């Protein structure tokens, strides 16, 4: 492993992974390939901008010509794919881009890897491919029952990966991560959205009864789990990556307000997300047994750090909250919050 293409490396988790890898492995060349959609942001890569083992190439993972050119130019031997459309609410409003990137884009990357003889392909997937679980924990052998267009497109991408491993013998691996939070997360997802809205004393729209459960994983733990799987996973293997910290949405919201010293009167219960999965929960058994990996970060400490990061880095998020963001906000929350 020498020349690694990190697709989607200008997004939230991808950039955390890149910052971590550039520092940890000075002998690897890390080439970020990213379309810079609304969620891609070169500010996320500023801390490593001048690192000698980092390069950036702009492009779409579904654009075969550009993917091939970049892989050939940089003599890529490894692909780690983070590139995706990632927000469930946007997938409900407009699924098209999700199928383009999360299914077709994954196929183009796989096909390029096969044609050019790229040795290693790691794909970053999600616990949402399993659907909802009322009790107990999903394990890797459970059936996939995705419920949102986002989850279905991620499951579709995973099926192509399986096929390329079984049919063509490509050395693939997949990690299925749970709800990730931390610095540099686009402020549409629950944690950064509510933190930045609460800083401005604006209403926090909590879907349904707020009793949905998510398993919360700190972004640095997620990045380290991917590094572990990339280096150690046998061909064709799949690993759950959970934070081992389940919480109801209402309790995450209350914690954010407490950390910001803001009143709970900011909470507004609004019309639920259609098809809203009630609970996600994973077992990390396989990651623990195969590699001795476990999440290292205490949830409350990490959330405190995250809240402080958004307080200290208004330069990063204030400029995002304009233009397209405001149009999306209006579509998603306008009616929900009207008269609330
Ligand atoms: P993000 O939305 O912050 O970033 C996605 C990145 O992909 C952006 O930089 C964007 O520009 C890029 N991108 C989108 N379409 C592209 C295309 N066609 N070609 C090239 N680049 C493209 O996402 P994230 O939250 O960092 O998630 C990264 C990966 O991790 C995704 O595959 C997601 O499904 C998965 N995941 C996310 C979470 C989470 O809680 N955020 C949890 C588990 C798994
Ligand atoms: O589980 C992993 C997944 O986590 C990733 O694959 C996705 O890319 C990521 O977006 C995340 O999906 P969720 O749908 O769980 O995350 P989101 O932040 O959108 O919502 C978290 C919970 O909070 C969910 O139950 C919906 C709820 N919610 C969210 C928003 C944005 C609200 O109640 N109000 C909101 O405004």
Tell if the pTM clears 0.85, that is, is over it: yes
Atom of ligand 1 nearest to the CA of 185: 3
Question: Which protein residue's CA is at the shortest distance from atom 37 of ligand 1?
Answer: 126
Question: Does some domain include residue 137?
Answer: yes
Q: Please tell me the distance from the alpha carbon of residue 168 to that of residue 148, in angstroms, as a whole number.
A: 30
SS3 for 162?
helix
Question: Which protein residue's CA is at the shortest distance from atom 19 of ligand 1?
Answer: 60
The pLDDT tens digits of the residues spanning 84-127 come to 999 999 999 999 999 999 999 999 999 999 999 999 999 999 99
CATH code for the domain in which residue 62 is found: 3.40.50.720
SS3 for 304?
helix
CA 84–ligand 1 middle distance (angstroms): 4
Question: Does some domain include residue 133?
Answer: yes
Question: Does some domain include residue 20?
Answer: yes
Q: Would you call 268 exposed, middle or buried from its count of C-beta atoms within 10 A (0-12, 13-18, 19+)?
A: middle
Domain ranges, residue 173: 3-181+217-241
Percentage above 70 pLDDT, the chain: 100
Please compute the mean of the pLDDT values over residues 324-340 and round it to a whole number: 94
pLDDT of residue 1: 86
pLDDT of residue 339: 72
Q: How many domains does the chain have?
A: 1
Specify the DSSP element, H or E, that contains 327.
helix 324-337
Please work out whether the CB of residue 12 comes within 6 Å of at least one atom of ligand 1. yes
Question: Does some domain include residue 251?
Answer: no
CA 278–ligand 1 middle distance (angstroms): 23
Q: What is the 3-state secondary structure (H, E, C) of 32-92?
A: EEECCCCCCCHHHHHHHCCCCCEEEEECCCCCHHHHHHHHHHCCCCEEEECCCCCCHHHHH
Atom of ligand 1 nearest to the CA of 186: 3
Question: Does some domain include residue 122?
Answer: yes
- Closest ligand to C-alpha of residue 190 is 2
Bridge partner list, 7: 33, 81
Question: Does some domain include residue 171?
Answer: yes
Question: Does some domain include residue 176?
Answer: yes
């Amino acid at each position: 492993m020498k020349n690694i293409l990190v697709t989607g490396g200008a997004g939230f988790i991808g950039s955390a992974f890149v910052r971590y890898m550039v520092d940890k492995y000075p002998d690897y060349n890390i080439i970020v390939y990213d379309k810079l959609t609304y969620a891609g942001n070169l500010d996320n890569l500023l801390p490593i901008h001048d690192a000698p083992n980092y390069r950036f190439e702009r492009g779409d993972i579904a654009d075969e010509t550009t993917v091939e050119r970049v892989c050939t130019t940089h003599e890529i031997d490894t692909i780690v794919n983070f590139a995706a459309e990632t927000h469930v609410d946007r997938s409900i409003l407009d699924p098209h881009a999700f199928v383009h990137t999360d299914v077709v884009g994954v196929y183009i990357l796989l096909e390029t890897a096969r044609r050019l003889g790229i040795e290693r392909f790691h794909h970053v997937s999600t616990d949402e491919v399993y659907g909802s679980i009322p009790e107990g924990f999903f394990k890797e052998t459970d059936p996939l029952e995705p419920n949102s267009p986002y989850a279905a497109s991620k499951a579709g991408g995973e099926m192509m990966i399986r096929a390329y491993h079984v049919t063509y013998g490509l050395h693939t691996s997949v990690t299925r991560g749970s709800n990730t939070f931390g610095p540099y997360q686009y402020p549409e997802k629950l944690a950064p959205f509510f933190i930045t809205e609460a800083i401005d004393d604006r209403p926090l729209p909590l879907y349904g009864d707020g009793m949905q459960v998510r398993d919360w994983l700190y972004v640095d733990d997620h990045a380290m789990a991917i590094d572990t799987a990339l280096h150690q996973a046998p061909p064709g293997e799949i690993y759950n990556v959970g934070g081992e910290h389940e919480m109801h949405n209402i309790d995450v919201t209350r914690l954010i307000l407490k950390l910001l010293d803001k009143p709970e009167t900011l909470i507004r219960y609004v019309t639920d997300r259609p098809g809203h999965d009630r609970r996600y929960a994973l077992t990390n058994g396989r990651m623990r047994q195969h590699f001795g990996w476990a999440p290292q970060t205490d949830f409350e400490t990490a959330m405190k750090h995250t809240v402080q990061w958004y307080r200290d880095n208004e330069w990063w998020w204030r400029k995002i909250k304009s233009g397209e963001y405001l149009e999306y906000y209006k579509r998603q929350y306008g009616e929900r919050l009207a008269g609330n």
